[in-house]
Homo-oligomer: A and B are copies of this chain.
Amino acid sequence: MDYKEKKVMTIGIVSELTGLSERQIRYYEVRGLITPSRSNGGTRKFSFSDVEKLVDIANKMEDGLQTFEIKEMERRKRRKEEEAKRRMIRGQINAAFRLRE
């Protein structure tokens, strides 16, 4: 829906935008760090969101992290966000009950 999430770029442009080599980008896909979609012919299509993610990955690689570590960081981050969401919902439910009492 959002422009940022639309998979529209080929790998060459993503390479220019991120400064990463095509080889690196393909490798990060193999490691499951990004998930570009494909055209019917098989060419990868990336979103601006993917580009942002790649820049973040590049920074972490520079810090000496390994791909599997980066992947785990993302997993943890996602869990934290989900937890925060659940807490918020619980809080709102509690608030609603308090109003009824």
Contact = CB atoms under 8 A, between A and B. Distances in A.
Stoichiometry, copies per complex: 2
A58 interface: no
Interface string A6-20: 101110110001000
Contact of A3 (B4, B10, B39, B45): B4
Interface residues of A, number: 12
A28 interface: no
A39 B17 CA distance: 13
A10 to B, nearest CB: 6
Given A3-B4, A8-B17, A12-B39, 6 more contacts: A3-B48, A8-B8, A8-B13, A9-B9, A10-B10, A13-B45
